[in-house]
Structures are given as C-alpha cells and as structure tokens.
C-alpha cells in the first residue's frame, strides 16, 4: 500500500509542485491549505508523514499546528518535516539540531525545496 504524505501549506502552487515530485516517487499525497484543515485531515486520514509550512496566516502558525498535532493521541507519533528557514523568518536564533528537545518536529527543510532533497528526506523518515 502506498504511504500517505499530508502537505499543510497555504501556497497552492507550492503544494502542486511538491505533489508532482512526491507522487512520482510513488507516494500518495493529501493536502490542506490551512493549519486548522490540516489538523482535521491528519486526524481523519492518519497520514504516514506531514510536511508543514511554518508561515501560514499568522507568523508562526506552523508551530502551533505542530504542538496541537503532538497533543492528539492519533497524530502524536506521525513524523513532521517543517518547511521554512526558521531563524530567518521568525528572528529566533536557535539550532534545530541542538534545540530538538523543545521543538515538536523531526526535521527542517529550507524553502525553496530541492525536489531530490525533499524525496530523500521524506523517504528517510518513512523508513525506506
């Protein structure tokens, strides 16, 4: 059975571009254009991995979404890859490697995402 990846991002063009890449890599792609919809979809469809944009609507909505996903029993263990240059966009200066303990996500990928890099990271977290 194909593994399911949920993309939560409010930029529809970006979602379509990533969908193309991931589908060609043999994955099933779901999407949601807001944090709230993304959370609902994650609860309903139970994806194997979530790609989450940090900057939607409000400045750091992605973070809140990630914390909420971590609070539900059903979605607690789904790996999350966060899309964004965190330090650059939020002005926080932290190191995703070092500060992992308090970050609710597995990985950060800077935008723009290189297609090969994206596939490689997604597959690594899906255990390919």
Stretch of residues binding another protein (CB under 8 A), selected from 11-19, 31-39, 40-48, 74-82: 11-19
For another protein, which is the closer residue by CB, 40 or 110? 110
58 forms part of the interface with another protein (CB under 8 A) = no
Antiparallel, parallel or unpaired: β 28-32 and 4-8: parallel
Stretch that binds another protein, among 16-24, 30-38, 44-52, 61-69 (CB under 8 A): 16-24
Strands (E), 34-83: 49-53, 80-83
Whole-angstrom distance, CA of residue 70 vs CA of residue 78: 8
What the block records as the tokens of 127 is: 């255990």
Q: Is 14 in the site for another protein (CB under 8 A)?
A: yes
């Amino acid at each position: 059975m194909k593994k399911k990846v949920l993309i939560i991002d409010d930029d529809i063009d970006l979602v379509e571009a990533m969908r193309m890449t991931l589908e060609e890599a043999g994955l099933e792609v779901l999407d949601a254009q807001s944090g709230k919809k993304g959370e609902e979809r994650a609860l309903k469809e139970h994806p194997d991995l979530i790609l989450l944009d940090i900057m939607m609507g409000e400045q750091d909505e992605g973070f809140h979404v990630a914390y909420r996903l971590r609070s539900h029993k059903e979605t607690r263990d789904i790996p999350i890859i966060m899309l964004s240059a965190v330090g650059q966009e939020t002005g926080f200066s932290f190191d995703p490697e070092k500060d992992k303990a308090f970050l609710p996500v597995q990985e950060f990928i800077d935008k723009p995402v290189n297609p090969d890099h994206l596939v490689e990271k997604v597959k690594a977290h899906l255990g390919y």
